[in-house]
A and B are shown apart, each in its own frame.
Chain A
Amino acid sequence: MLDIAQPTRQSKLSILLYFFKGVKGLVAFAFFALFSMRSWTNSMAIVAVSLLVTLVTLVSPVLQYVFFTFHVENDELIIQKGWLFKERKSIPVERIQSINITQNVGQRILGIVAVEIDTAGSKAKELEIPGLNRHFAEQLKSLLGKKKSQAVSYTSTEDNDVTATAQEVPVAQKSTSRTVFQLNIIDLLKVGVTQNHLRSGGLALGVVIGFWYKIKDAVESFYGNIFESVEVDVEQVVKAPEALGNRVLVFIGIGLLAFLIVSVLVSIVMAVNKFYDYKMELKDDYLEITMGLFNKKEIKIPLSKIQILEFHSNPLRKLLDFKTARIYQAQSQNKNESNVEVPACHNALQRELQQLIFKKTIEKPQKELLPNPWSHARLDMYITSLFGLPLIAVASYFEYYWAVLIPVLFIIFIGFMGYKYGRKSKVIRDDDFIVFYKGWLFNSVIVSPVYKTQAVEKWRSIFIKRRGEAHLQVHTAGGTRQLKYLKEGEINSMQNDINNIVMRSELSWM
């Protein structure tokens, strides 16, 4: 049995981990120093500074290791760190929502893991112990889990004395484990191919643009002005486009093709890195998910903590007949690491997940709220007009009347998409679930049990008051979901119904 009653340090390997982190900064500094070494006097100072920085990089990991301790005291997990700026974080064990074991490349090389402790308080800081050996980490995880269940059952017995004698903490639970889903290589590639390529393409483009000048500088300093010729070409094109003629079109075509290929490649690489060796297991009452090629991730989600289940799709995925499922659990703000994606979720798996997590299936809806598609179209068109109208003005000022057509068509297209979005969206409620259906081409289904709702909000701007419309927001501990432009009267009755169910519910919701 693990004993962490006294302040305990991490694995000694964590010094190396801190060192790796420091080295990243050192490399950046070395580049800076190298480039700024122009004159001799200058370089003396820089050498001195470099020595200092190197020293700090070497010493600080040891200090970080020495001053990072953690222990459990009076059912509180306490983490202390820092030498000059001391920091002490403590968290009551029963407040721990989930304990995740993660491993990034650096940790993987060293053979150590990080333990992340998530709480659901809206202000609590997150806790991470970055360098433990795996065996220790797993023991810590199970120890904290055990302490937590003891603390929880203790408080519950305290509340009602009648059952106090009857309740016994189960000492040895039988552990069952069943693989729910495992991603094979073919499906992994399918997932990669059906990612949102525009997003990955944009990401790649962003990286290239962001580093363009640095890349250029670096290459030029070694090979001279090899970019000069390209720049001349570009200037010529701008000055006399006719002279080049077809070459411009060919150039644009090649550019687009390259962008497409790069986007797809980036998507596939990202998907493989993220979802490699994906496995979801059901153990007792929690799901354990492992995935990742370079950054291995291991996430544990107690079934009772799951608040929202979402199924996303896109046109490419519809062809292959699978969706992406997302599982949201109760957690603190801005922390998305413990939300889980399930790639390549077929219809059978969708039903299974829902059955597994929420124990019930969606029945025939009692209530169905439909948004006004025209309102969606209208808002989208207003927003596009903000950019479109100036373009139209510019085009007509220069008397390119045919060019007016482009923004006009674009605005109409956006309006059409908005209308379709409104037509395909709805909120339904049956006895057990609130279900949002949202979107047309990139549609999603959002399922949340009614009793897990924390608050229901209705809001509207003054401009749609006249139309008798409002927006419905459902807040849960796992996040907020909303659908806009519903009938106000219908929202009112939905709000009252949900409230009445939540108030009476005695089920554990978090």
Chain B
Amino acid sequence: MTNEQILSQSLPVIEQSEFEKHPKRFLNKKLIAKFVFFAPLLIGIVVLFIYTEQWMGWSALAAWFVLLLASLFVSYKEFFVRGYVLREFDITYRHGWLFHHQITIPFNRIQHTEINHGPIDRFFSLCELEIYTAGGSASDLSISGLDPQDATAIKEFISEKTAQHA
């Protein structure tokens, strides 16, 4: 029989663990998706150039460019703070640069998990792991931009752990 003493300092802390990064192509996907989102607005600017005075078109173009750069910058920054930690009994995910979130869900509180991928995701061979908890959706977790193999492995791992607690 063992009953080792546990000091409160030796209890596990999240801050000491190494956050795993998403694959680099997730950054590319994000940047391209942002650009694709902004591109149609260019048509509007062309229309402005044709039908109104020059300065209107130019200022619209400048505004478009600034907004595009700002959103690309935010996406770029976000990529480097995004990460997850899988530990023996819980999963921690952090994301967001302007609004930074860090959430920890123990496995014995997870209801089920799901893997989703959209067309753009498939093109970059990425996918999204969704983790559902009970009650409202406030504590549901969706980790986007994972390698499909990693995602499947994580899902298997979590399912195994949750099955032990069910």
Q: CB within 8 Å of B: which residues of A?
A: 120-122, 159, 307, 330-334, 453-462, 465, 473, 475-480, 492-493, 495-497, 499-500, 502-503, 505, 509-510
Option from B99, B103, B105, B141 in Cβ contact (under 8 Å) with A461: B99
- Tell me whether A480 and B102 are in contact (CB under 8 A): no
- Tell me whether A332 and B90 are in contact (CB under 8 A): no
Counting CB contacts under 8 A, is B43 at the interface? no
Q: Please judge, given known A-B contacts A492-B13, A499-B90, whether A477 and B134 are in contact too, CB under 8 Å.
A: yes
Contact with A along B80-121 (1 / 0, CB 8 A): 000000000110000011111111111111010000000000
Contact with A along B125-152 (1 / 0, CB 8 A): 0000000111111111100000000000
Set of chain B residues within 8 Å of A332, measured between Cβ atoms: 135-136
Set of chain B residues within 8 Å of A455, measured between Cβ atoms: 103-106, 109, 133, 139, 141
Counting CB contacts under 8 A, is B14 at the interface? yes
Q: Please judge, given known A-B contacts A333-B137, A454-B134, whether A500 and B12 are in contact too, CB under 8 Å.
A: yes
| Chain B min CB distance to A97 (Å) | 9
Option from B97, B101, B106 in Cβ contact (under 8 Å) with A457: B101
Q: Please judge, given known A-B contacts A120-B135, A479-B135, whether A459 and B101 are in contact too, CB under 8 Å.
A: yes
- Tell me whether A457 and B139 are in contact (CB under 8 A): yes
Q: CB within 8 Å of A: which residues of B?
A: 11-15, 89-90, 96-109, 111, 132-141, 166
| Chain A min CB distance to B79 (Å) | 15
Nearest 10 CB-CB pairs, A to B? A475-B139, A477-B135, A457-B103, A455-B139, A333-B136, A477-B134, A503-B89, A459-B101, A455-B105, A480-B138
The complex places the Cα of A331 from the Cα of B137 at a distance, in Å, of 11
Q: Is the interface of A mostly helix, strand, loop or mixed?
A: mixed
- Tell me whether B12 and A458 are in contact (CB under 8 A): no
Using CB atoms, name the residue of chain B closest to A156.
B166
| Chain A min CB distance to B148 (Å) | 24
- Tell me whether B106 and A503 are in contact (CB under 8 A): yes
- Tell me whether A122 and B103 are in contact (CB under 8 A): no
The complex places the Cα of A462 from the Cα of B109 at a distance, in Å, of 30
- Tell me whether B135 and A476 are in contact (CB under 8 A): yes
Set of chain A residues within 8 Å of B134, measured between Cβ atoms: 120-122, 330, 454, 477, 510
The complex places the Cα of A497 from the Cα of B106 at a distance, in Å, of 12
The complex places the Cα of A476 from the Cα of B97 at a distance, in Å, of 26
- Tell me whether B135 and A502 are in contact (CB under 8 A): no
The complex places the Cα of A51 from the Cα of B30 at a distance, in Å, of 58
| Chain A min CB distance to B75 (Å) | 15
| Chain B min CB distance to A99 (Å) | 18
- Tell me whether B104 and A495 are in contact (CB under 8 A): yes
- Tell me whether A502 and B140 are in contact (CB under 8 A): no
- Tell me whether B14 and A478 are in contact (CB under 8 A): no
Set of chain A residues within 8 Å of B133, measured between Cβ atoms: 122, 454-455, 475, 477
Set of chain B residues within 8 Å of A462, measured between Cβ atoms: 97-100
- Tell me whether A496 and B13 are in contact (CB under 8 A): yes
The complex places the Cα of A503 from the Cα of B162 at a distance, in Å, of 11
Set of chain B residues within 8 Å of A334, measured between Cβ atoms: 136
- Tell me whether B11 and A454 are in contact (CB under 8 A): no
| Chain A min CB distance to B130 (Å) | 11
| Chain A min CB distance to B19 (Å) | 14
| Chain A min CB distance to B81 (Å) | 10
Using CB atoms, name the residue of chain A closest to B131.
A455
- Tell me whether A454 and B139 are in contact (CB under 8 A): yes
16 contacts between A and B (CB under 8 A): A120-B134, A122-B132, A122-B136, A334-B136, A457-B139, A458-B102, A460-B100, A462-B98, A475-B138, A477-B134, A492-B15, A493-B13, A497-B11, A499-B14, A503-B89, A503-B108
Set of chain B residues within 8 Å of A478, measured between Cβ atoms: 135
The complex places the Cα of A105 from the Cα of B160 at a distance, in Å, of 50
Q: Please judge, given known A-B contacts A495-B104, A502-B106, A502-B109, whether A479 and B136 are in contact too, CB under 8 Å.
A: yes
- Tell me whether B14 and A496 are in contact (CB under 8 A): yes
The complex places the Cα of A500 from the Cα of B132 at a distance, in Å, of 20
Set of chain A residues within 8 Å of B100, measured between Cβ atoms: 459-462, 465
Option from B12, B96, B103 in Cβ contact (under 8 Å) with A456: B103
| Chain B min CB distance to A306 (Å) | 13
Most buried by B among A493, A495, A509: A495
Set of chain A residues within 8 Å of B138, measured between Cβ atoms: 473, 475, 479-480
Set of chain A residues within 8 Å of B13, measured between Cβ atoms: 492-493, 496
| Chain A min CB distance to B145 (Å) | 20
- Tell me whether A459 and B104 are in contact (CB under 8 A): no
Most buried by B among A122, A458, A505: A122
| Chain A min CB distance to B55 (Å) | 27
Using CB atoms, name the residue of chain A closest to B164.
A159
Most buried by A among B14, B101, B104, B166: B104
- Tell me whether B137 and A122 are in contact (CB under 8 A): yes
Using CB atoms, name the residue of chain B closest to A475.
B139
| Chain A min CB distance to B10 (Å) | 11
Using CB atoms, name the residue of chain A closest to B8.
A497
- Tell me whether A456 and B104 are in contact (CB under 8 A): yes
- Tell me whether B12 and A333 are in contact (CB under 8 A): no
- Tell me whether B104 and A122 are in contact (CB under 8 A): no
The complex places the Cα of A497 from the Cα of B133 at a distance, in Å, of 20
The complex places the Cα of A191 from the Cα of B159 at a distance, in Å, of 49
Set of chain A residues within 8 Å of B11, measured between Cβ atoms: 496-497, 500
The complex places the Cα of A456 from the Cα of B139 at a distance, in Å, of 8
- Besides A496-B11, A496-B13, 17 other A-B contacts (C-beta < 8 A): A120-B134, A120-B135, A122-B135, A122-B140, A159-B166, A330-B135, A457-B139, A459-B100, A459-B102, A461-B98, A465-B100, A475-B133, A495-B104, A500-B12, A502-B106, A503-B90, A510-B134
